[in-house]
Amino acid sequence: MSKLINVGVVGCGYWGPNLVRNFRSLPGCNLKMMCDVSAARLHSLKALYPGVMAERSFGHMLNGVGLDAVTVATSVKLHFPMAKAALLAGKHVLIEKPMAASAAQCEELIEIARQKGLVLMVGHTFLYSPAVRKIKEIIDRGDLGQIRYISARRLNLGLYQKDINVAWDLAPHDISIILHLVGQLPESVNCSGSAHITPQIEDVTLMTLIFGKDRSAIIHSSWLDPRKVREMTVVGSKRMLVYDDVAPLEKIRIFDACVKRPPHYDTFAEFQYAYHYGDISSPYLNQEEPLKAECLHFLECIRESKSPLSCGARGLEVVRILEASSASLKLGGGAVPLGRSQPTPSANNRPTRPSSRGSCRTKTAHALCA
């Protein structure tokens, strides 16, 4: 029988209780400790999970408790120092999105994990959803043809953040999905937005990712919308797909629709675009909580020395795009070539630009992503 993996969760505010609930229920996992600065939050969770220790000191959580892994679900500004401390203490780490506040911080975490042979994983939860897995399968099979563009909308009323804008808060979900589906990094990033409620913190943004082969992606993020919208449209040369994560049924709908330009014509009168309209279909999806699948994957990577699907390198890619979006906002929406918006790393950091193939490699007994 496999050894139980002792896990601790730091940050028990909005998302932390969901992590606590899942790790508490998984086989082969012992949720040993919950950590938060708020005594009230810990008291509430302790009533639900009396067998789990509660601690307000993160330092005490890392020392003497016997944890194998730590999940960081705090504010973004604390992701780097807490993840770094956990890695240096020899713990495997799962960090919520975005991975850190800068690419340089991500690179440092990746290097520490590499040196210590520890699993470093980022909470890009939607990559573990049945819907996104199915979309990836459909695209890779060629059912949609060549991908032309992707449009994503993630809108709701709040939750307002005080230290990051809406792009850093909501767009990581869509960026991670788009990179996973397209399989390459964008060449440049544009981002425009407005701060309506809190000065200098944009609550509405529109981001454009420009890829090679005339492909693009548009990401609309908002904390200032009356409806909760979680929708992504993938337009291919053969078919089109709409993914609505809020829909209770038929989260994926495939439209047998496309438009074609005539191959040749002699006169303007002969020039006619060909529009094709066919059936609409919806594939069957397994009912599985994405966060549960993510937590299981984290434990599996620790136990079997595997590199996570959402490894440190994937987290770094997302943060690089977010940094480029911030640079574009300062330019009034101008294009920022990816890689030029980042400071040059020191000699101790990893190379600035990750492999375009997004490959991962392993070292020592545990898988990590470099």
Q: What's the pLDDT score for residue 362?
A: 33
**Nearest residue to 182 via CA among 231, 144, 220:** 144
What's the confidence (pLDDT) of residue 358?
35
Residue 348, pLDDT above cutoff 50: no
Give pTM, 2 decimals.
0.88
pLDDT confidence of 309, banded at 50, 70, 90?
very high
Percent of the chain with pLDDT over 70: 87
- Average of per-residue pLDDT across 68-74: 98
Mean of pLDDT values over 225-233: 97
The pLDDT of residue 148? 96
Domain with CATH 3.30.360.10 in the chain: 127-281
User: What value does the mean pLDDT take over residues 336-359?
Assistant: 43
The CATH number of 5-124+342-367 is: 3.40.50.720
Give the β-pairing of 29-35 and 5-10.
Answer: parallel
pLDDT band at 257 (very low <50, low <70, confident <90, very high): confident
Give the per-residue pLDDT at 265: 59
Of 6-15, 182-191, 226-235, 259-268, the one with minimum mean pLDDT is 259-268
Per-residue pLDDT at 296:
98
**CA triplet 71, 89, 310: central angle to 5 degrees?**
40
Nearest to 150 by CA among 177, 173, 170, 172: 177
| Positions of CATH 3.40.50.720 in the chain | 5-124+342-367
Chain mean pLDDT for the chain = 89
Q: How confident is the model at residue 83 (pLDDT cuts 50, 70, 90)?
A: very high
Q: What is the pLDDT of residues 142-185, one digit of tens each?
A: 999 999 999 999 999 989 998 899 999 999 999 999 999 999 99
pLDDT band per the 50, 70, 90 thresholds, residue 339: low
Q: Which fold has domain 127-281?
A: Dihydrodipicolinate Reductase; domain 2 (3.30.360)
- Answer yes or no: is pLDDT of 342 > 90: no
pLDDT of residue 351 exceeding 50, the answer is no
User: Predicted confidence band at 264 (pLDDT cuts at 50, 70, 90)?
Assistant: low
Give the pLDDT confidence score for residue 3 in this predicted structure. 83
- Report the 3 state secondary structure along 151-198: EEEEEEECCCCCCCCHHHHHHHHHHHHHHHHHCCCCCEEEEEEECCCC
